[in-house]
Amino acid sequence: DGGITQSPKYLFRKEGQNVTLSCEQNLNHDAMYWYRQDPGQGLRLIYYSQIVNDFQKGDIAEGYSVSREKKESFPLTVTSAQKNPTAFYLCASRGPTGDSYNEQFFGPGTRLTVL
């Protein structure tokens, strides 16, 4: 099956800890994205990457870091510097697919809770 996988589905973190969220895609997409979703605020872009070994900050990058060592993988680290990390995190990828040029495909999400 082609698609995007995120793990874990649920993650609990103690204050002061760094945690890494996994995102893998087998769609052969070049672009990958990380979003944060909070109730009533829609999806906010954290980081995005157009190609391997390159990534850019989104609108709310503070307290987060990413890497893009492989085309298939785009892990997100939530650092202790992120003051309010409890949220639903969504990974997405995009590739030119016919008329849906800008369609982003989303993973199932990771719900992070800080204890």
- For residue 31, list its beta bridge partners: 94
Quick check: helix, strand or coil at residue 13? strand
Site residues for another protein per CB under 8 A? 4, 31, 33, 40-45, 48, 50, 56, 58, 90, 92, 94, 100-109, 111
Residue closer to another protein, measured from CB, 4 or 21? 4
- E strand segments, the chain: 4-7, 10-13, 19-25, 31-37, 43-49, 56-57, 64-66, 76-78, 87-94, 104-106, 110-114
Minimum Å gap between C-beta 68 and another protein is 14
Min dist CB 98 to another protein, Å, is 12
Closest CB 4 distance from another protein, rounded Å: 8
Give 17 or 103: the residue with its C-beta nearer to another protein: 103
